[in-house]
Amino acid sequence: MTRNPTERKLCLYQTCILPIHRHGSEACSLLQEELRKLEAFHMRYQRMILGIRWYDFVRNAEVIATTNLPSVQDIITKM
């Protein structure tokens, strides 16, 4: 099964970046400000993978619908 480059990038992001990104977050409670920063990081990388620039004016909801990745808060809650 061959994947397009975007699917490969998302797969690499999920397997390599997200585990490092959420490392240690299950051991302590996160402040709202820290959770906001983690979510911003998560959205920024999804936008980079999709090739979306700041001047494209694409809403976060559209990015999430395209990548089908859960939010950071959902990932941490599931763990």
The tens digit of pLDDT for each residue in 64-77 reads: 999 999 998 888 77
Identify the burial level of 64 via C-beta atoms within 10 angstroms of its C-beta, where 0-12 means exposed, 13-18 middle and 19 or more buried.
middle
- CB 22, CB 62: distance < 8 Å: no
- Report pTM: 0.81
Query: Per residue in 14-61, pLDDT tens?
Result: 888 888 876 766 656 778 888 899 899 999 999 999 999 989 999 999
